[in-house]
Structure 1
Amino acid sequence: MSASPPAPGAHPRPSPAGWLRIAARLLAMLAALLLATAAYGLCALFTRHNPVPRRFLRALGTIAGLRLRIRGELAHENTFLLANHVSWLDIPALAGASGCAFVAHDGLAAIGPLRWLCSLNDTVFIARHDRRSVGAQIEQVRTALADTGSLAIFPEGTTADGRELLPFKSSLLAAIESDLDHVAVQPVRLDYGEDAREIAWVGAESGIDNALRILARARPVTLTIHFLEPLSDEQRADRKVVAREARKAIAQDD
């Protein structure tokens, strides 16, 4: 995996037809959100394991033009998924393919509407610079696993260009370290193929500009999700070993 990221400003602004696609997709996403909100409240009356958030995320990916191909299989229930990170599309894709919840940095929690949406999907917010909160985060991890069966982490800590694999930060795995002896750890490679350079959110591009580019596309976005072999007992001795071995497995699968 090696390529230089696109230069800032390298992507053209959406065309008039692109703006029409953006408007249509945003309206469809809003309709999906309204339906999902009503369905979530209804399902919450009957089950603790609410299936609506994962189905809503999958619908968002489909509306955005995402087309999934799956290689391999999800290990089993109680699995930590460690994946490379290219785009915000990774989130609806992984949730749609595995039904997982996510571990995210606590910066996202400062955005009220986003925090609310994330909480519906059992997102665990990690305060990387506050060691006192690790105990609470561990309990949140266990609750999320009990509710969803799998929890996804992007150990790079940021998005890359889809070709170069950044170092995996073991600090992001602190909240799961105490459960490594009885929970599977499965590396996942997200491969956008020829679309990676166009989809990736890197450089000086704003998040809004990146989202608009993707929503303006006429062609679908093809993503192949490779569920790789779970790490062995020796490969999950501690979080530093997990970070190293998961990254190695993803890099070697290319």
Structure 2
Amino acid sequence: MHYLWRLLRLPSPWPRWFLGRAARIAGARVEVVGTPLRRDVFYVSNHLSWIDILALGGASGTAFVAKAEIGASPVIGWLAGLNRTVYVKRENRMGVAQQINELRDALAENWAITVFPEGTTTDGKSLLPFKTPMLRVLEPPPPGVMVQPVLLDYGAASEEIGWVGEEGGLNNALRILSRRPHFPLRISFLEPFDPRDFPGRKAIAAESRRRIEEALVTALGGPLRPFEFAVAPVNYAGAPPAD
């Protein structure tokens, strides 16, 4: 059905439908809190699992910036590709500049785009520093584009769902798919802000992180904890170092 819509040059609703159903099949029972902007929006989200892409895509229709490993995953990579995901290739020194241009083109077409600026997945109890290279697309912000922070909260199941440590992608997928019972996922679309009020990608990242951290502390009912797993974040080769 998706390819038929594309052949007729119509906006296809099917990737969003597929992603939402796939998230449910994987066990996620999604609750949406807040109102997602539908176009001209740059979502900035925390990151726990490959399920994030399924659920966020199903809830909002957003495209993504994701690690290249996701694109190589069976089924998940195919679904993400249908949804116009821009993949980060860590080994490609020229990749960042090319991907920034792809993001600018996508925003020019009124897409919603999501980035996971922690650069890796965590356990749902922590929040890593936000990397800023992919936010260069907002220097300066394209006309009319807003930033909307997003909190993904798996509740008590977050440590089981989080893809961390040395676990391989296939093993993680098999573990999640065989898990019983299903698990909650609350997607909180926080108040959007105009990136022009926070000039520069570092200021935009800091404001996004502040809002997500505030919402996560509220959801946890207490302070965040240090991330317990020694997982190196994505290194965007060729990009200037973030500080």
Identical positions, percent: 44
Label 1:205 to 1:106 Cα distance change in 2 as closer, same or farther (>3 A).
closer
Label 1:70 to 1:59 Cα distance change in 2 as closer, same or farther (>3 A).
same
Aligned residues: 216
Output the CA distance in 1 between the equivalents of 2:134 and 2:75: 24
Computing the radius of gyration from Cα coordinates, the structure with the larger value is: 1
**Residues 1:43 and 2:43 are matched in the alignment:** no
- Asked whether the equivalents of residues 48 and 147 of structure 1 are also in contact (C-alpha less than 8 Å), the reply is no
> Under a length normalisation based on structure 1, what TM-score does the superposition of the two structures give?
0.75
- Deviations, residues 112-148 of structure 1 (Å, cap 9, x unaligned): 9876544321112345676755554344224434557
RMSD across aligned positions (CA): 2.6
SS at 1:179's partner residue? coil
2:148 to 186, 194, 198: 186
Label 1:223 to 1:75 Cα distance change in 2 as closer, same or farther (>3 A).
same
Matches within 5 A, 1:1-254: 39-106=1-68, 108=70, 117-127=79-89, 136-145=98-107, 149-179=111-141, 182-233=144-195, 235-254=197-216
> Under a length normalisation based on structure 2, what TM-score does the superposition of the two structures give?
0.78
Query: In structure 2, what residue type is equivalent to 1:249?
Result: R
The runs of 5 or more residues in structure 2 that have no matched partner are 217-243
Query: In structure 1, what residue type is equivalent to 2:193?
Result: L
Label 1:41 to 1:83 Cα distance change in 2 as closer, same or farther (>3 A).
same
SS at 1:248's partner residue? helix
The runs of 5 or more residues in structure 1 that have no matched partner are 1-38
Question: Counterpart of 1:34?
Answer: none
- Deviations, residues 191-221 of structure 1 (Å, cap 9, x unaligned): 1111101111111222222211211122111
Output the CA distance in 2 between the equivalents of 1:236 and 1:127: 28
Output the CA distance in 1 between the equivalents of 2:90 and 2:133: 7
Label 1:142 to 1:172 Cα distance change in 2 as closer, same or farther (>3 A).
closer
Query: In structure 2, what residue type is equivalent to 1:149?
Result: W
